[in-house]
C-alpha cells in the first residue's frame, strides 16, 4: 500500500490529478483496500477514480467498465443492492456498445445483475438476464446458466419448470463428462502407442547393433 501511495503522489505531481496513469494507480489502491475487506476505503478510492476517468476519458471508454464493476462489487458486499445494480447496469451498457453481446466480460456483468435481482426476490427480472446469457454460449456456460434459471424457477414456486431446466443441466453435464472420459481414453491410448513405438525403436536399434557387430 505504501508503494502505491508514493506512486500516486508522484503521478499527481508529474501529470496532475486528472490523468489516466493516476486513475490506474487509484484503482490498484482500491483493489488493495478491497482485498483487505476495507470496503469503505475501497469505495471512496474507486469513486474518486471514476470521477477522474469520466472527466478525462469520456463516458464510453472501456476503462470505465472496470471501475464501475468494482464499485458494483463493493456495494454488493455492503448489501446496497440498488447502488450495485446502478453501477453494473452502467458497465453493461458500455460493454455492449464496445464489445457486443457475447463477450465474456459482458456475460460476467449480466450474471452479476441476474444474481442481484435473484437475491432481491425479483425473479422475473433475474430470469430475463439469465435467458439473455444463453445466447451464443458454449455448453459449459449454458449448464451453469440453466442451473441458475432452474434455481430461480424453483424459488418462485414453479417446480415443473425448475425440473425441466435441472434435467437439461444434467444432460449437458453428462454429455460433457462423456467427452472428458473419451478424451482421457484417447490420451491413455496415445500414451500406450508412444510407449509401444519407443519399445519398437529400442528393439530395432538393438537389432541393428547386433547386425553391425
Least confident window among 28-37, 135-144, 171-180, 184-193: 184-193
What is the distance of C-alpha 99 from the center of its chain?
A: 15
Q: Round to the nearest angstrom and report the end-to-end CA distance of the chain.
A: 72
What integer pLDDT is reported at residue 193 of this predicted model?
40
DSSP 155-191: HTT-HHHHHHHHHHHHHHHHHHHHHHHHHHHHHHHHH
Q: Tell if the pTM clears 0.75, that is, is over it.
A: no
Encode pLDDT of 24-39 as tens digits. Answer: 888 888 888 999 999 9
Amino acid at each position: 500500500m505504501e508503494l502505491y501511495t508514493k506512486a500516486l503522489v508522484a503521478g499527481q505531481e508529474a501529470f496532475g490529478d486528472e490523468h489516466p496513469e493516476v486513475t490506474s494507480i487509484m484503482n490498484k489502491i482500491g483493489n488493495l483496500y478491497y482485498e483487505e475487506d476495507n470496503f469503505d476505503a475501497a469505495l471512496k478510492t474507486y469513486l474518486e477514480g471514476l470521477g477522474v476517468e469520466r472527466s478525462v476519458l469520456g463516458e464510453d471508454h472501456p476503462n470505465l467498465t472496470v471501475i464501475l464493476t468494482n464499485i458494483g462489487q463493493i456495494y454488493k458486499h455492503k448489501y446496497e443492492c440498488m447502488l450495485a445494480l446502478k453501477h453494473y447496469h452502467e458497465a453493461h451498457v458500455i460493454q455492449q456498445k464496445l464489445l457486443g453481446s457475447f463477450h465474456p466480460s459482458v456475460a460476467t456483468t449480466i450474471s452479476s445483475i441476474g444474481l442481484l435481482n435473484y437475491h432481491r426476490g425479483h425473479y422475473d427480472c433475474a430470469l430475463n438476464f439469465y435467458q439473455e446469457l444463453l445466447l451464443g454460449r458454449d455448453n459449459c456456460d449454458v449448464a451453469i446458466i440453466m442451473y441458475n434459471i432452474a434455481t430461480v424457477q424453483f424459488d418462485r414456486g414453479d417446480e415443473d419448470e425448475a425440473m425441466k431446466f435441472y434435467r437439461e443441466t444434467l444432460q449437458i453435464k453428462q454429455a460433457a463428462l462423456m467427452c472428458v472420459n473419451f478424451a482421457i481414453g484417447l490420451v491413455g491410448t496415445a500414451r500406450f502407442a508412444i510407449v509401444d513405438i519407443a519399445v519398437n525403436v529400442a528393439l530395432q536399434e538393438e537389432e541393428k547393433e547386433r547386425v553391425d557387430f
